[in-house]
Structure 1
Amino acid sequence: MQLADVLWRQHTVYRDRAGGVVIRGEHVQRWISLAPSGRRDEVLLRAGRILDGGTTAPARSETVVPLCAGTGELAAACRRLLAETAADAALPAPAAPSRTKRSEKPRRPGRKGKRMSFASWTILACVVGIVALYAYSTATTGTR
């Protein structure tokens, strides 16, 4: 494939399950795929990273290019997507929240902890009490 040769000297080209073409550049840890876009004369370009171990991460960016575009225009669109993917990978990951005490658990939003549990037990006890009172009153009035 000419496009693969324009993008990278070292590359692997294969078809994916959906019938699109995937070009992998192992040396740059990036991949790009070309697939039908759903419209008759357009192709969907998607780019992503290759993770450690050789698995591919989901696409980081995508665009639609007309099929009538030449190899140069397709290569330019691919390079733009690959640059966006590289820029996304270069951003630092958000820092994990640090804990001061080992027993301290992160709180879930909207949860009140043990107070919800106590309220549930209280409601359950009231319902059981009402059912027991009803059963007692039915049993005592039914025997006369």
Structure 2
Amino acid sequence: MKNIGLLLCSITGFFIILGCLFYNSLLIDMDKIKDYVTESNYIFEQVVKNEDKVDDNKGEYISRLITIKKGMENTNTSFLFEKYKKIKISSIELLIDLINENNEKDKKNYLKLILKSNDRSQRELDSMMNKGFIEVTYLCLKTYINL
């Protein structure tokens, strides 16, 4: 009976350590690209709020976005984070196209696409965090929340 208890404790400890490693990997990947994401979100905010300022300095904004895109592409992240990173890179590419565009109707379409891409990337990040917790530790938080 002692050995079975020890075995169960060991297995439980293994799954807890595995879960911690999974989340630690995600947090390290997020930390690697957080500056790029923050800067691209700041530029997006400026594009939405101050179109005149952006139109005057198109070259500067585009060069900053290209630098952000290259930096994000060259950042080494785990395979778990690749889909999120690809979605954010496509969002940056759309932002570059938005800044280059002169037609107002096309600008609105690009703006909608960027917002959809940002929502999709956030959903991907949320699903990684929730899905990973359930898959690695086999615990369901909803069960405990409903109590």
More helix as a share of residues: 2
Alignment TM-score > 0.5, same fold: no
More strand as a share of residues: 1
**Greater relative contact order (Cα < 8 A, sep 6+):** 2
Q: TM-score, normalised by structure 1?
A: 0.28
Tell me which structure has the larger Cα radius of gyration.
1
